[in-house]
Amino acid sequence: MCARYSLAAIPEQIESLFDIAPTGDLEPRYNIAPTQQVPAVVEGKAGHELRYFQWGLIPSWAKDASIGHRLINARSETAFERPAFRSAMERRRCLLPTSGFYEWREADKAQNQAAFDGMDTKPRKPKAGPKQPYRFEVDGGELFAFAGLWEVWDSPSGEPIQTCTMLTTSANHLLTMFHDRMPCILTKQDFDVFLDLSMGREELAAVLSPFPDERMRAVPVNTALNNPRNEDPDLALPVGPVLTA
């Protein structure tokens, strides 16, 4: 599962990587959370287009918007079958530009385990420590994209609401220290393959597989990130040793 990410890049970098028209209103973001408006790249009539979607997919058939809080992620392995995602997987795919995503672990878990290793008597189970956020980066901090899906829901007021979700896959070795799932990570050579709606389950299997962990690192960052209202460049600064596979 992924519930927080960042997009710390200038508009020119995003425009170049995703081959989109100039987007002067894009500002660096360091703590993107569910229900917020997020930038996404879709395949338009004239090529790639940038749009904004609310993070948390609301299926077109939903009775109310609350379901979106539970659908911030979608399992790529079953998205072609699940009613909530099937239509979007077939017709409405998108790229979610990002510079990194966050996962949490107990800050002192490794230290506690090391301290008890080799003891003759079984120690009391240590109390869970505070959760330490880590930002996962690709290729040393380069921009990349999550594979996403988008949908349109007609609200009771008649106003259409465009929403999105992030596809996930099994965690690679680096991520297993934090979670058993990870986002489906796409780099530039994968963009057009994923957005091509003629590509089905078998053709997409390679690009929706776990990303190579040797191309990733986990950077511990400030616990101020735990509050989604905090949005500050200092959230990107490392506060401890970087983890690699």
Q: Where are the alpha helices (DSSP H) in the chain?
A: 11-18, 86-91, 109-116, 188-195, 201-204
- Specify whether the CB–CB gap between 133 and 226 falls below 8 A: yes
What local confidence, expressed as pLDDT, does residue 129 receive? 60
The C-alpha atoms of residue 177 and residue 187 are separated, in whole angstroms, by 23
At position 171, the amino acid (one-letter code) is A
Q: Which residues are catalytic?
A: 2, 103
Exposure string for 38-74, b = 16+ CB within 10 A, e = fewer: bbbbbbeeeebebeebbbbbbbeebeebebbeebbbb
What local confidence, expressed as pLDDT, does residue 119 receive? 37
- Specify whether the CB–CB gap between 175 and 1 falls below 8 A: no
- Cα Rg of the chain (Å, integer): 19
What local confidence, expressed as pLDDT, does residue 106 receive? 84
Phi and psi for 87 in degrees, rounded to 5?
Answer: -65, -45
What local confidence, expressed as pLDDT, does residue 26 receive? 87
Domains observed in the chain:
5-116+123-244 (3.90.1680.10)
Express each pLDDT in 97-108 by its tens digit. Answer: 999 999 999 875
Written as tens digits, the pLDDT of the chain (245 aa) is 799 999 999 899 999 999 999 887 788 999 999 999 999 999 998 899 999 999 999 999 999 999 999 999 999 999 999 999 999 999 999 999 999 999 999 875 444 343 333 434 444 555 556 789 999 999 999 999 999 999 999 998 889 999 999 999 999 999 999 999 999 999 999 999 999 999 999 999 999 999 999 999 999 999 999 999 999 999 989 999 999 98
The C-alpha atoms of residue 77 and residue 167 are separated, in whole angstroms, by 9
